[in-house]
Every structure is written in C-alpha cells, then in structure tokens.
Structure 1
C-alpha cells in the first residue's frame, strides 16, 4: 500500500490572503460589488414603499437612515465581519463550506444548506438586472426618453458571453475601479452632509425605533431597508479569495463610504422635505450636473462588477454543491490558471436566460426591488442556523449562543416577515426560482443516498484470481492493455457488482492491468491526496483520490501523475505486453470505462422514492455523462449503460399452461 500527497497539496493554498495593500485592493474588487451598489436603489425603494409613496417626510428619512446604519452595523459588521468570518474551513467560507464543518451534527442540516444555497443562487438571478438597471436608468436625468431595457439586456448578455474567457485580465482592474467608486460615494455623500449636518441625528437608534413602531406601516419598510445588506453573504463566501484580515480592514473603508453616501442622500431628501420624489433618484441628485454622465458611467461599471462577483460566486457555489452530491455533475471549465476561477457553461446559460427574463418581466429597477431581498433573507437565516451549530461544535458558552440566536433570529425573522409583503408584487419570482433550485438539489441528494444505500457492492478478493485468469486467456480478444473503471465503492476491499458483471459477462473485457479509481470528496477545500492499494501485483490496482470540495475533478491529469510516480518507483510496469510493442518499450494503451445507470422497469419502489428517482433520471437526460465531469479523455472512454434495479419487484406469480 502506498499513500502519498499530490505535490499541489503542499502548495500555497490561499494567495492574496495576507494583509497587504494588494490584498485590500483585491478585496475591494471581489467582495463589495453587491453591497457597494445598494445606494443606487435603497432610498428610492424605501420612499416608494412609504404610507404616501414618494412623499419626503422628515420622520421617514431620519428613521430610514437610522435603520440602514444599524442594519449595516448589526447584520453586516457584527454578524458577518466579526463573527461569521471566524467559521472558516481551512481558509474558505460560504454556506457550503460552513455546512461541511457541521454536517456530521445531523442529517437535517443538509436541508438547511440546500435552502440557503438555492436562495443564494436565486439571488444571483436578480442582482445583475437590478444593479445594471439602477445604474443605466440614471441616463434618464439627461435623456428622459431613452429606452433602458435594450441597453440593460445588451450589457448583461455581453457580461455572460465573456465568462468563458475567464476574468483574469478584467479582474485586475476591479480593485482600482471599486476604490474609485467608494471614493465617489464618500465625496458625494460627504458634500451634502456638510450642507445639512442635521441628518447625523440618524445615528441615534431611537429614530429607527420610532419608524418601526410609531410610523404607520413602518415595520413593513424593513423589506426595503434590508436591501442595504443583501451583499453581506458575499463577505463570507469570498473569504478564501481575500482572507479575513483584508476583509475586516477594507470593510472599515467600505462601510464609512456607504454611510457617508446614505447620510448624503438623507441630507438631500431633508432639504426637499414635503416634496414628491417622483422619478428622481436621490443617489443621482447628489451629483452636480457637470458630473452626472461621469457618475452614471462609474455607477454602470460598478454594477457590472457587482454582477460579475455574483456570477463567479454562483459558479463556485455550484461546483461545491456538485462535490457535496447536491447538484448534477455538469461540466466545469477552468479558463485560466487563477486559483478558484472556474466557468460552468450550463449555469452560465441558465443565469443569462434568468436575468434576461427578469429584465423583460419587470422592465424597471423599481419593479425589481419587490422581487429582491426575499430569497437572500432565507440564505441569511440558514447561515444563522449553521453558524449556531458551529458555535456549539466550538464549545462556545451556551449563554452567548442563546444570545446570538435570540438577536439574529429576531432581526432576520423580522426582515423575512417584512419581505413577505413583496410576494404578490414580484417576490414570488425569486422564491419560484429558489424553489426550482431547491427541488433539483433535494432530488439529487436524496437519489444519491438511495443509490448508495441499495447499490450492490461485493468483495473484490474472490474476483482477483478470476481477473488474472481472464488477463492470461488469449482466446479472449484483448480489450485494452490498461483498463480503468471509475468506482463508487468507498472501501478498498469492495467493488460494485455491476463492474464485475461488465468485465466478465456483458462483454468479457480482457486487459493486462485492471485499475479501479475511486474519488472521495473531503470536507476540507483543497485536499489533494491519493492512495494506491495493490490487489494483485502488477495486475489489479485500486487508486483512491481524496480531493477537497474546491479542487477541480481533473481525474485524467491526476491519474497520469500517479502512473508517473508508480513507474518512477518501479511499482508497476506500464509497457505494452504485445510482444512486438514490448520490444520497442511502447507504453500500453489506457481505456476508461464509466458505467452510466438507468432506471430499470423491474422496480417496486415506495411512491416517494419512485418519484425522486424518476425526477433524477429525467434531469440526467439534459446533462453530460460523468466522463466529462471527471475530465477524462473522451477518445479513450467507454460509457456503458447498466440497469439500476434498486428494488426488484417481489411476489411475481407465473402459471404455466399447456
């Protein structure tokens, strides 16, 4: 038995995570796009949801700004920046990383992760349209009749079409542009705060309390207030790209810029109290006329960066879900050598269609605000549940855990209830998208457990001699010099009965060396290890890869690396055993066999499991076979269909007649 680590496992895992000027700039470019563009629409959404839509009232403005200040403080700063960033999985963050840390505490936590992950993906469909629309609609201040929908769709379509090329070059510009954006937010807001400093009274939480309790319908304004913190989950999700030190330090600057801008918008609104807001956007009203087109341009670029962050975050989320058996094994591409950067073609298409559909359905950013926020509230609640379990794992004082649950259960519960009034006005769109994604995740995970529970595994030991005999039987045509089967058997001593059936019965497959390859996904993000078990010297070998949930599944590449190591150590001879080729030291051919199961008609499943498996195989029709997911060389892969008889029909009575 040989156990080794892949050399890449010892490489630097978390570049840019050390606290530095470069790391801070990268954090600005990657993390804050969503939360950083919220000043474009938050105050507009609040005023249009007031008791008299659009009417600028002092108590409303002071209360709304106070709610924003304390939401950013309690929800974003305390919960995410101070507490949640500590729950890192070997430097990685995000709801699935957090789930990986606590999933052994109960099977029910899988449902929590599914709800949170699906809601976060649904949020990725709403964020690009609302961010880009809010920015582009600023052009109406200069060109009142300009059609914004085609421009928004054009920008979003261009953004998604660029994904296949990777974002390495563009990504380098994100940091400086977002630095410019937040600097602009601070200057614009600060200039109005100086003119009307009375707005600083909103720092007093009493104004927030008065709005929620005394202002008619004030509690329901929380649904719009919540929009100021929708990007908080990204701070945790991108932990591995930037490091908690860079996030915490850069957040001080980002929060200061955001608050200055919100205060500036509040100051402008107080200067126009008693008036109707109409079609004006307080954000653009802060700008002097000569700066308006420049400001709109910067806002549009910032919105594109926010959209890019959500798109790449969605790709990462899907890749993690695949390795946790919560999503179909779709094709993953790695367009550049940048760590963690990947491209999921199927998800890119789905997000593009979803975003265009949202733009065409809602048309205006003001209408999209009704759909925005409801889904992400669910994600934050699910993160709170998982974080509570993590605090228990870390043996934190139960009193502090109880306080955490009480405070954030109340805050996020209130946000959820307030957001529910958005349901008939467009909130149902994000919930519908999230519901479909939850359904896919549930079906995939449940089907995985059903198959694993009832798949027929057999001991490999009794077959070793038979494999050697078949290998030596020259009456059987040679199928390949090296025959490689992908196996799901977790124990080294076992193998799927279907693999043995394929080798001996379906079509006898004679080979010189039989390889069985198993891929085990670990709860750590960047594990890259392998283990070789020799079942029969130079005849039957098993390789087990232990790969982290963020490691690309390039099995073809890794397998070749293992073979090189084994040959170098003289543990295996891969020279062709054809006599003429052996003399010339020609390497033998390798052929992979992937068994693709289909649902047999010979099944007698319980109704619920039958529905799950039917849904599972229906979805399977629309995704590539597993050889593409594992990164196998398709020219040397045989995909073989085998029936999946999970529960054979019982009590079959046949009567013979003469």
Structure 2
C-alpha cells in the first residue's frame, strides 16, 4: 500500500521473535483468564451464548486486532516507533488543531484503563488457587505480587526481561494444548467461527448486544501492541501474531467446548480457563498463569513510562524525573508515575477484591483510546494520499465496531467504569492545562533581533570596569531562529546585573516529532566571542544538555573553532579551562495580570504542577553546580493604567 514508512530495521530471527512474544503480548495474551468468565457472568450456560461468544471473540480478534492494528496501523510508524503519541507526532505537522483532542483523550484513557491491567491479570491467575481451597485469601497475595513488581522497576528489568519471551512461549503453548485437548471432547465447537453465530447472538439473544462489553476484553491489548512497535519491529510482530492468535482461538474454543458440555448449569465461582485443566496440571498451570500475568503487568508499566516520557517531550505533561536504569534502548523508569500506578493498582484490588468485579470496570476507557487512534489514523491515511473511498470504508468499519463496543461498555459505568473515566478525566485535565498554559505563556515571550545587541554584548565583554561574571556564560533560549533572542535574556545580561563574560553562548533545544534524533548545529555570531548551539532532539531522547553541551564544546576545541582556556592570567599560564556558568530564566505569574476566569484556572493548575515537578535546570539535565536561576515575572495580560489621583 502507498502509505508505508521506512522503519528502523529489526532482523527477524528466532531470538527476536521470542523477545517479541515477551514484550508485545502480555495484555492480550492473558485475556483467556477472564474473557469467557465475563461473557457467561451470572447467566446459565446457553449454547447460543457460548457459540455466539466464541464467534464474537474470533471476529473481534480478526477485524480489530489483526486488520486494524497488525495489518494497517503498524504501517503508521514514526521512524520505527508506534503508539498514539507517535501517531500524533506524525500528523500534527499540518498544524490541524483538532488533532490535539484525540491525542490527549486517547493517551489519558490508555493510562487510566491500564491501572486495572496488573490487578485483573494477577487476580485472575491467583484465584485459581481456590480450586484447592475456597477460603484462600487472594487479596493479600495479589497486593504482594503487584507491590514487588513495582518495587523492582527502579533497578531496571534487563535481567528479568530475558525470561519474558520463554515464559510467554510456554504460556501460549499451554493455551493451545489445553484448548485442543478439550476440543477433542466436543469438535463441533468449531462451527462457532461462522459469523452467523455472532450476528445471531447480537440480534436475537436476550441482552445479547451487551455481551460485547465482555467480548471487548479479548482485544484490550491491541493498543499496547502498536505502542511497542519500536521495541520489536513490524515484521516480528506480524509473524508472532499468527502464532499468538492461533493459540488464543484454540483456547477460547476449548473453553467453549467445556461450556457446551455443561449446558444449563451456573458457573458460580468456576473459571472455564481452569476448568479445562487436568487436575494434575493445576499447580504448574497456576504458576505459569501467574508468571504470564506478571509479564502482562510489566508491559503495562513500561508502556506507561514511555507514554509519560513522550507526553513530556510533546508538552502534554509536567517535567518529572526520568531515570535510565539500564543500557537497553528505550527502557526508562519514571519514579512519580511508578508510585502513582502502584497506589492506583492497590486501590483497585482493595475496592473490587475479585477479578469478576474488575471485569465489570475494565475496557470502558480503552475503547475511547481506540476511537482516538482511529481518527488519527484516518487523518494519517489522508496525508498519505490514500483514496477517499478507502478511507471512508475503513472509517465506517472501525467506527461501527468501536462505537458498538463503546455503547456496550457504557453498561459498566455504574459497576466501576466510572472510576477509570474519572481518572482519565483528571489526566485529560492535566494534559490540556499544561498544553494550554504553554500557549498562554507564548504570548508573554517577546523576541527581539539579536543583531541589534551584538555590538553591545561585544563591548560588555571587553569592559574591564565591570567585574567578570564568568569566563563562559551560557543562556538557554526558546528562540527558534538564531537571529532572535528573548528580550528578558538581553535584559538579564545588560541591565538586571551587567554580566561580563569572555564568551557568550546561547543554547536552544528543539524537540522533534521523530523519536531518537540527536543532532546539533553551531552558529558563530561574533568570531570567538558569541556562539549559538541548536540541539535537535527526538521526543524520546533525554535532554542531558550539560553533557551534550560539553561534547559540543570539546568537538569545537578539536576543530580549533573556540579557545576555552581560562582568561585569568595566572590560570591561563597553566592552560586551565575557563569556568562555565549556566543561566536559566524561570517564570512566575505576576500579580500584574488581568486574566479571564478560564486563563486563571489554567495558569493556576500549571503553576501548581510546576511547583511539584522538576525545576528547569534538572529538566534540562543541568546537574552542574554552576547554574544560576533567575526569577522572571510573567505578565500575560497586563493590567491597564490605574486611576490614581494625586493629592497635596
């Protein structure tokens, strides 16, 4: 098809396919633990419900996961990276404003619904112990496993990650084997793959349409599949998906075969997943299921870290501390998000206690993410000049499927779906406020022509009547063009406190819509005296400006472009390197503003999060002791002249 992008190469081999199994399929791969239990619910086991449920699951995996995500959406890669924010980065270059809404809403919903993934996966696995003893307290065990999982994040998952692939391989082989063994007892269950049974369930069965809320659980991991594109590559995902889908369908058919042999009965506390296991395999089966649930939870946690990192680079989220615990590309750790997710997961477990309760709340927010992805994807296809007819057909197909799932999932709202929607709404509020505040702040920034002040800066540098402030004085600037500079920077150097330096540096960081670019450009404004350095960094690159700037200066010294030897006579004789001082302009909201109610709320939210987020120096990786932070009052909308009356 004509809209394929070139992505970073990922060689296909047994090793890469095994890694793909471990990274990509944790969420969607553990869905057999709870999907059929949710479909049957408290209803008697009915053939129409069982066969229709299998048919709905199969065609959902075919249309939604296989066609939409594996075949179509994986083509929309951003230099090999995927996910809703990467997709937004691809299409936002057109400056179309409405694209912002599905990006923020989809990203927030993905984070919110993800809080349920670790609890529902681990709880569904651990509840298998009740086969031996109904009174086993599963809640403390689930909380213990989840807590341990979040605690190890700070050390990185390089060692544990080596086992993810083999664990998931064993898991999927177990799913297929158990399914085939049970299918042999009721082979006619294969007729459920006929779409007739899905249509019959949705149109003829009592409350059949609402079963879609449970069916949707089988594909909730499809969005994560796209988000992890950069870790494994398109071809590895497509090849492994054929194997994964086959094993999943076989297991669903096996559970259906077991259910068909128990028509008219109530499930009570029986989980069809464990019911098809031989008694001698229950203990190993529970252990493997728990391991797979941990892999699914780890995938969700890593995905959340990546999502927040992208949101920060796209100016959707306050700057928070990001740690890189290993040398694996793309692996990162966000402490604040880690502990918030842990608190949310424990809260979910304590509130619902049972996986059946979590099933009732799971999926409502994630379908909103899928709808958002559909809108962004259709616009991407439009930019790639795909036929309007094709785009129209795809839009109708996906909206029909996803809006049906959305309506069916609305039934979950009073049963816990409200919780994830509240969390998603809060996240949307944070992202929107941070983005909107940036737009408001941009009205405050005044850029002036730098060439008008270059002679004054040169003269100041040679004015020995003023004490030297630093040998090298470095300012971070938001001016996109080398010819411009913020008026506040010039005011800081020339007027606030004249800052004499031997060499002035202006450093600008441009965050690109590409993921891993690391380029820089040096502009010499006055030979040997004033320089500008522009860094072009991808939205997944940590801005370690202190380290990057040092590398740039070292390269310039090697090329004889600059002399950084100290200008102090006693130190110069010893060839000592001159001192560097960074100056960061940090804004605060001035009282001299006349804001509308909306702008005041936005700016109050912005500065609240700014106080508890990373400072500007730490956000830019300026971990040197030679950093000066200058507070600058932000006057967005100045108050008019006051009606003061002079009296005598």
TM-score normalised per structure 1: 0.96
Aligned to 1:8: none
1:585 matches 2:580: no
**Greater displacement, 477-486 / 372-381:** 477-486
* Pairing partner for 1:433 from 423, 432, 456: 423
Deviations 1:216-264 (A, max 9, x none): 1110110110000000011111111111100000000000000011001
Deviations 1:574-631 (A, max 9, x none): 1111111111111111121221111111001222122211111111111120211211
1:335 matches 2:328: no
Give the Å deviation of 1:336: 0.9
1:24 matches 2:22: no
* Pairing partner for 2:53 from 64, 81, 91: 64
1:410 matches 2:400: yes
* Pairing partner for 2:62 from 62, 70, 73: 73
Q: Counterpart of 2:97 in 1: which secondary structure?
A: coil
* Pairing partner for 2:224 from 234, 249, 255: 234
Aligned to 1:46: 39
Q: Counterpart of 1:19 in 2: which secondary structure?
A: coil
> Aligned partners of 1:355, 1:503: CA distance in 2, in Å?
50
* Pairing partner for 2:91 from 81, 102, 106: 102
1:278 matches 2:278: no
Aligned to 1:222: 212
> Aligned partners of 1:237, 1:196: CA distance in 2, in Å?
38
Q: Counterpart of 2:360 in 1: which secondary structure?
A: coil
Deviations 1:489-515 (A, max 9, x none): 111111111222222233332222111
Aligned to 1:173: 163
Tell me, yes or no, if the aligned pair for 2:55 and 2:197 is still in contact at 8 Å.
yes
Give the Å deviation of 1:479: 2.2
Q: Counterpart of 2:471 in 1: which secondary structure?
A: strand
Give the Å deviation of 1:332: 1.3
1:617 matches 2:607: yes
Tell me, yes or no, if the aligned pair for 2:7 and 2:78 is still in contact at 8 Å.
no
Q: Counterpart of 1:254 in 2: which secondary structure?
A: helix
TM-score normalised per structure 2: 0.97
Aligned to 1:422: 412
Spell out the pairing of 1:123-272 with structure 2 (5 A cutoff).
123-272=113-262
1:87 matches 2:76: yes
> Aligned partners of 1:345, 1:640: CA distance in 2, in Å?
28
Q: Counterpart of 2:259 in 1: which secondary structure?
A: helix
Q: How many residues align?
A: 642
Aligned to 1:601: 591
**Greater displacement, 71-80 / 467-476:** 467-476
Aligned to 2:3: none
> Aligned partners of 1:350, 1:590: CA distance in 2, in Å?
38
Give the Å deviation of 1:13: 9.1
> Aligned partners of 2:322, 2:585: CA distance in 1, in Å?
20
Aligned to 1:372: 362
**Greater displacement, 27-36 / 351-360:** 351-360
> Aligned partners of 1:333, 1:486: CA distance in 2, in Å?
23
Spell out the pairing of 1:536-575 with structure 2 (5 A cutoff).
536-575=526-565
Give the Å deviation of 1:189: 0.9
> Aligned partners of 1:54, 1:636: CA distance in 2, in Å?
69
Aligned to 1:315: 305
> Aligned partners of 1:123, 1:478: CA distance in 2, in Å?
56
Q: Counterpart of 2:549 in 1: which secondary structure?
A: helix
1:33 matches 2:26: yes
The CA RMSD measured in Å over matched residues stands at: 1.3
Unaligned 5+ runs, structure 1: 1-11
Give the Å deviation of 1:14: 4.3
Moved over 6 A (4+): none
* Pairing partner for 2:342 from 335, 352, 365: 352
Tell me, yes or no, if the aligned pair for 1:166 and 1:336 is still in contact at 8 Å.
yes
Tell me, yes or no, if the aligned pair for 2:325 and 2:333 is still in contact at 8 Å.
yes
Tell me, yes or no, if the aligned pair for 1:516 and 1:542 is still in contact at 8 Å.
yes
Tell me, yes or no, if the aligned pair for 2:585 and 2:629 is still in contact at 8 Å.
yes
> Aligned partners of 2:134, 2:587: CA distance in 1, in Å?
59
> Aligned partners of 1:60, 1:500: CA distance in 2, in Å?
73
**Greater displacement, 615-624 / 252-261:** 615-624
Give the Å deviation of 1:308: 0.5
* Pairing partner for 1:443 from 407, 423, 433: 433
Tell me, yes or no, if the aligned pair for 2:82 and 2:228 is still in contact at 8 Å.
yes
Give the Å deviation of 1:651: 3.3
Q: Counterpart of 2:349 in 1: which secondary structure?
A: helix
> Aligned partners of 1:637, 1:375: CA distance in 2, in Å?
43
> Aligned partners of 1:556, 1:176: CA distance in 2, in Å?
41
> Aligned partners of 2:137, 2:284: CA distance in 1, in Å?
19
> Aligned partners of 2:284, 2:381: CA distance in 1, in Å?
47
Aligned to 2:627: 637
Q: Counterpart of 1:474 in 2: which secondary structure?
A: coil
Give the Å deviation of 1:136: 1.0
Aligned to 1:7: none
